């Protein structure tokens, strides 16, 4: 039971972290504190006595009822506990602890299906939790996919990662809807990505991320839907976040192929230190960073040699996402992380406007 | 915890964590519902062995489990053989790691009849568990000193003809060493050729050549269980580990079988005691100049040219008053496979009225109709 209590505390802590808010709790008066202390010390008879007195004063207090169920469970009155949990779930569907304990009750009896059903219901009970849970699962699925591709030398492209942002800090009272899927983002090749230290690098990545979540001035031509986010939205700090494809984007295989060919030419020029050819792939709007002007950068454009993974990459390793006149080409960079370029169509050709490597 | 005892025994080289032990500890962690621990073990593995396809598969499985999408791999597994191969590899490694193989239980293959002192190690390749065992000949028995996951031919066993992509079954000897610098990259750091086709293979008309023990191409940590052209392939780390156990002067036997009969070490000697006795009897019968008794050790049906061999012996022995034979460095290995057969090698010193010689002899003894007889001799 100690484990169970610890688990509950963790769950609640997790919820607080996920929601980014302090849950509104009823007044934790001294009586409640003493009651919980008795239960934790295992003095169930004394706790029960105290509880009976407190319940006489506030018979509908969910914290007291829950404690009643916990004591009942630990005193071998499982059915009584189940009845209380069920009534708590009915009357306070947004409180998750009763689901948790009810699920454990089912699992102890070997009824794992019922336990899973109750826990799934708990995840659905709070829109923020449900959304966070679904997003977490989606990211895990993406990480799994990236690993599978490596395990099986698969050329099947990664499916776009669809995450759901929330548009309210708290759900409207009594309304039980899920967050609207307002942003579709794609995170690539993040398996084992080390923590990013390079601030300049991060800024380049987050420029796109900021756009996507509408925190900075969004370019309406690029953002399909701005999102009023809550702090609950997982920050896309890791991996490159790409803007959703605009409606009506026509998949153009030839164009994508041409992009891959161009980026491969860029790699080749880089590897061969062919300055003129290398620089020709960049837009006049490219910002080199390090406080260099474009002209200064063109004098000595390579900060470092291309990585082995990049030089040895094959056409199948490239991912291309297009959105009108903007395209993003991703490729292997380090063993376990990728790099990418953002290119824009200028004068009929694609030119690099941002790079992340 | 499962007993991962045999892993701990294998002293894996390098500064990184042991490859197989790290994988199996991660599997073990899954068994203990420690998904986080399992994942961090795999991440550690991939840091040190970034070409581990199996590591990525396990990482994918762990993430897929956390995502609640166990079937996700279907999107990426166009190559069923590669996926099944990786799953099989993990199964084989696990089976061996938890002591689920007879070798891991401390049993010995019945094939280890007798080893001359210079045969310091005997390699036993058990295809049924994708494992290559190194047995040390201690002089008083055999000790398992190391063992490795191995890859055999992509069509499995048993090799019959050139190009069939199968691994031969039999008793072989390492003949030489080919350094990796002179070989295509897919062989890794080097290769130890074995003497396939041996005399028995040639008698059966089996063809092909170039069966080696070798490493792996640089893009892969190792290959899946069935992936070579017929060779025994190891990871490059394991190839370096096995290198010191192999001699290239014909004194490292390699017994390759689809399966083996395993016995307790205490019973191995008694079970095989008949075999040296056969050779001693053959020796005595030759020395006795009783040509009929001597010839009774040979198979009239299978020994090639038996009639002329018998006639020559009769004529030859009639001219002798004494023959004295000494047998040294006797080695006997049981042949894997369907027939009951022994491969016998020894150095023979021969003295007679008019002839002295020292020769290296090899005999194949086969059990037919309840009697052991020589079917091949050189």
**Cβ contacts (< 8 Å) between A191 and chain B: which residues?**
59
pLDDT score for A177: 41
Residue B43 has pLDDT above 90, yes or no: yes
Helix (H, G, I), strand (E, B) or coil at B330: strand
A contact test, residue of B26, B35, B56 with most A CBs within 10 A: B56
B317 pLDDT exceeds 80? yes
pLDDT score for A206: 27
Residue A81 and residue A32 share a domain:
yes
- Shared domain check, A274 and A317: yes
Instruction: Report the DSSP pairing between strands A349-356 and A337-346.
Output: antiparallel
ipTM: 0.81
Could you say which of A143, A152, A336 has the minimum Cβ distance to residue B76? A152
Check whether residue A118 and residue A149 sit in a common domain. Answer: no
| Residue A76 belongs to some domain of the structure | yes
* Section B302-315 average pLDDT: 95
Looking at the structure of chain A, the number of domains it has is: 3
For residue B220, is pLDDT > 60?
yes
The CATH number for A295's domain is 3.10.450.50
Closest-CA residue of chain B to A139: B67
Please give the average per-residue pLDDT across A142-157, as a whole number.
Answer: 89
Residue A331: which pLDDT band, with cuts at 50, 70 and 90?
confident
**A99 and A163 belong to one structural domain:** no
- Output the CA–CA distances (angstroms, integers) from residue B325 to A57, B288, B346, B351, in the order listed: 109, 11, 12, 6
A176: domain range?
A: 129-213
- For chain B, what percent of residues have pLDDT higher than 70? 96
Give the pLDDT score at A172.
Answer: 54
The answer to whether residues A121 and A133 belong to one domain is no
For residues A110 and A137, membership in a common domain is answered with no
pLDDT at A306: 81
**Cβ–Cβ of A151/B46 closer than 8 Å?**
no
Q: Are B348 and B335 in contact (CB under 8 A)?
A: no
Quick one: B277 exposed, middle or buried, by C-beta within 10 A (0-12, 13-18, 19+)? exposed
Region of residue A16 (phi > 0: left; psi between -120 and 50: alpha; otherwise: beta): alpha
Do the strands B356-368 and B131-137 form a parallel or antiparallel pair, or are they unpaired?
unpaired
For every residue of B10-71, DSSP letters joined together read S---SSS--HHHHHHHHHHHHHTT-HHHHHHHHHHHHHH-TT-HHHHHHHHHHHHHHHT-TT
Cα A207 off chain centre by: 18
Q: What's chain A's average pLDDT?
A: 71
Report the C-alpha gap between B348 and B363 in whole angstroms.
Answer: 12
Residues A105, A178: Cα–Cα separation, whole Å? 28
- Local structure of A336: helix, strand or coil: coil
Residues A70, A133: one domain? Answer: no
User: B217 in helix, strand or coil?
Assistant: coil
The pLDDT score that the predictor gives to residue B271 is 95
| The pLDDT of residue A198 is above 70 | no
- Shortest distance between the Cα of A152 and any Cα of chain B, in A, equals 7
Asked whether residue A248 is domain-assigned, the answer is no
Which residue from B47, B50, B76 is facing A148, i.e. has the nearest CB? Answer: B76
What percentage of chain A reaches a pLDDT higher than 70? 67
Residue A312: pLDDT band with limits 50, 70, 90: confident
Report the residue of chain B nearest A137, measured CA to CA.
B67
Q: Cβ separation of A154 and B78 shorter than 8 Å?
A: yes
Joined together, the tokens standing for residue B259 give: 């399966």
**Tell me: the pLDDT tens digits for B81-108?**
888 999 999 999 999 999 889 999 999 9
Confidence (pLDDT) at B10? 39
pLDDT at A249: 31
What's the CA gap between B198 and B130, in Å, rounded?
23
- Of residues B46, B66, B79, nearest to A192 (C-beta): B46
Q: Is residue A166 part of a domain?
A: yes
Any domain includes A267: yes
Q: How far apart are CA A69 and CA B39, in angstroms?
A: 37
Task: State the average pLDDT for chain B.
Answer: 92
Identify whether residues A136 and A96 lie together within a single domain: no
**CATH of range B117-261; options 2.40.440.10, 3.30.450.40, 3.20.20.70, 3.40.1350.10:** 2.40.440.10
- What is the pLDDT averaged over residues A297-323? 78
- What is the distance between the alpha carbons of residues A103 and B350, in angstroms, rounded to a whole number? 85
Determine the topology of domain B273-377 in CATH: Nuclear Transport Factor 2; Chain: A, (3.10.450)
- Please tell me which of the candidates B61, B64, B83 has its beta carbon nearest to residue A152: B83
Task: Provide DSSP, A155-169.
Answer: -PPPPPP-----S-S
- Express each pLDDT in B119-153 by its tens digit: 999 999 999 999 999 999 999 999 999 999 999 99
The verdict on residue A32 lying in a domain is yes
| Average pLDDT of span B51-74 | 92
Give the best-scoring range by mean pLDDT among A178-187, B61-70, B189-198.
Answer: B189-198
Mutation pick from B40, B55, B59 vs chain A, by most beta carbons of A within 10 Å, is: B59
More confident residue, B5 or A44: A44
**Which 51-110 residues of chain A touch chain B by CB within 8 A?**
none
**How do residues B119-128 score in pLDDT, each as one tens digit?**
999 999 999 9
Please identify, among A71, A94, A125, the residue that sits at the C-terminal boundary of a domain: A125
Q: Is B311 exposed, middle or buried (0-12, 13-18, 19+ CB in 10 A)?
A: exposed
Residue A261: pLDDT above 50?
Answer: yes
Is A154's CB within 8 Å of B77's CB? yes
Q: CB distance A148–B53 less than 8 Å? A: no
Token digits for B252? 């490292």
The sheet with strand B112-114 has its strands ordered as B112-114, B323-334, B341-352, B356-368, B371-377
* pLDDT of residue A196 exceeding 60: no
Pairing of strands B253-257, B170-173: antiparallel
Q: Give CA–CA dist A144/B359, Å, rounded.
A: 63
Domain limit, last residue, from A97, A125, A153: A125
Lowest mean pLDDT among A1-10, A67-76, B37-46: A1-10
Pinpoint the residues of chain B covered by CATH 3.10.450.50. 273-377
CATH 2.40.440.10 in chain B is located at 117-261
Contacts of B77 in chain A (CB under 8 A): 148, 152, 154
* Mean pLDDT, rounded, for A135-150: 92
Q: Is the pLDDT of residue A215 over 70?
A: no
Q: Are residues A144 and A101 in the same domain?
A: no
Instruction: Give residue-wise pLDDT tens across range A9-62.
Output: 444 444 444 443 434 345 457 888 999 999 999 999 999 999 999 999 999 999
Task: Tell me the DSSP string of B351-376.
Answer: EESS-EEEEEEEEEEEEETTEEEEEE
Same domain? A111 vs A150: no
Q: Answer yes or no: do A303 and A278 share one domain.
A: yes
Identify all chain A residues contacting B55, using CB atoms and an 8 Å cutoff: 151
**Within this chain, do residues A107 and A73 fall inside the same structural domain, yes or no?**
yes
pLDDT at A176: 40
Q: Report, as an integer, the average pLDDT of A222-236.
A: 30
């Amino acid at each position: 039971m100690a484990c169970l209590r610890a688990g509950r505390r963790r769950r609640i802590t997790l919820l607080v972290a996920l929601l980014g808010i302090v849950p509104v709790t009823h007044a934790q008066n001294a009586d409640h504190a003493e009651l919980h202390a008795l239960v934790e010390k295992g003095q169930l008879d004394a706790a029960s006595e105290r509880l009976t007195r407190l319940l006489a004063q506030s018979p509908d207090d969910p914290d007291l009822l829950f404690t009643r169920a916990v004591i009942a469970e630990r005193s071998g009155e499982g059915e009584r506990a189940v009845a209380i949990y069920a009534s708590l779930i009915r009357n306070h569907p947004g409180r998750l602890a009763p689901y948790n304990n009810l699920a454990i009750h089912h699992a102890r009896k070997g009824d794992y299906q019922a336990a899973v059903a109750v826990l799934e219901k708990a995840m659905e009970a709070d829109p923020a939790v449900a959304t966070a849970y679904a997003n977490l699962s989606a990211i895990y699925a993406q990480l799994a996919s990236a690993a599978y591709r490596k395990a099986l030398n698969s050329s099947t492209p990664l499916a776009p990662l669809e995450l759901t942002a929330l548009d309210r800090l708290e759900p409207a009272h009594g309304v039980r809807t899920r967050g609207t899927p307002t942003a579709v983002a794609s995170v690539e090749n993040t398996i084992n990505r080390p923590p990013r230290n390079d601030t300049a690098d991060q800024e380049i990545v987050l420029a796109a991320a900021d756009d996507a979540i509408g925190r900075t001035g969004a370019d309406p031509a690029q953002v399909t839907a701005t999102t009023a986010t809550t702090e609950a939205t997982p920050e896309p700090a890791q991996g490159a976040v790409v803007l959703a494809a605009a409606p009506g984007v026509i998949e153009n295989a030839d164009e994508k192929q041409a992009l891959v060919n161009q980026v491969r030419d860029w790699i080749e020029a880089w590897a061969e230190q062919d300055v003129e050819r290398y620089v020709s792939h960049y837009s006049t709007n490219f910002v080199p960073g390090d406080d260099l002007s474009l002209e200064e950068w063109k004098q000595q454009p390579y900060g470092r040699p291309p990585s082995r993974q990049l030089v040895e990459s094959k056409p199948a390793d490239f991912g291309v996402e297009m959105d009108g006149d903007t395209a993003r080409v991703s490729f292997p960079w380090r063993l376990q992380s990728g790099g990418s370029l953002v290119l824009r169509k200028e004068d009929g050709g694609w030119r690099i406007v941002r790079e992340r490597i | 915890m499962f007993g991962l005892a045999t892993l701990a025994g294998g002293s894996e080289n390098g500064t990184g964590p042991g490859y197989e032990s790290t994988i199996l500890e991660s599997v073990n962690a899954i068994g203990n519902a420690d998904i986080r621990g399992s994942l961090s073990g795999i991440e550690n593995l991939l840091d040190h062995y970034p070409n581990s396809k199996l590591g990525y598969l396990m990482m994918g499985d762990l993430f897929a489990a956390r995502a609640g999408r166990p079937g996700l791999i279907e999107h990426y597994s166009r190559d069923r053989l590669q996926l099944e191969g990786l799953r099989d590899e993990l199964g084989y490694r696990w089976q061996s790691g938890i002591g689920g193989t007879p070798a891991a239980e401390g049993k010995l293959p019945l094939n280890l009849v007798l080893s001359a002192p210079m045969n310091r190690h005997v390699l036993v390749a058990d295809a049924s568990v994708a494992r290559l065992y190194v047995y040390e000949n201690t002089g008083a028995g055999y000790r398992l000193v190391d063992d490795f996951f191995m890859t055999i031919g992509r069509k499995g066993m048993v090799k019959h003809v050139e190009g069939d992509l199968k691994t031969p079954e039999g008793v072989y000897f390492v003949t030489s060493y080919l350094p990796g610098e002179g070989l295509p990259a897919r062989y890794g750091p080097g290769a130890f050729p074995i003497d396939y086709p041996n005399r028995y293979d040639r008698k059966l008309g089996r063809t092909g050549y170039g069966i080696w023990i070798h490493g792996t191409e640089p893009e892969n940590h190792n290959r899946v269980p069935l992936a070579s052209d017929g060779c025994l392939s190891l990871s490059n780390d394991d190839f370096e580990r096995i290198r010191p156990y192999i001699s290239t002067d014909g004194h490292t036997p390699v017994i390759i079988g689809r399966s083996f009969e395993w016995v307790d070490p205490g019973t191995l000697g008694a079970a095989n005691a008949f075999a040296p006795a056969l050779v001693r009897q053959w020796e005595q019968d030759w020395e006795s100049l009783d040509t009929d008794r001597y010839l009774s050790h040979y198979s009239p049906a299978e020994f090639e040219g038996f009639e002329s061999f018998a006639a020559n012996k009769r004529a030859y022995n009639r001219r002798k008053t004494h023959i004295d034979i000494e047998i040294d460095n006797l080695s006997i290995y049981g042949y894997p496979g369907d027939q009951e057969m022994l491969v016998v090698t020894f150095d023979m010193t021969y003295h007679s009225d008019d002839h002295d010689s020292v020769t290296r002899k090899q005999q194949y003894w086969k059990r037919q109709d309840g009697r052991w007889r020589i079917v091949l001799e050189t």
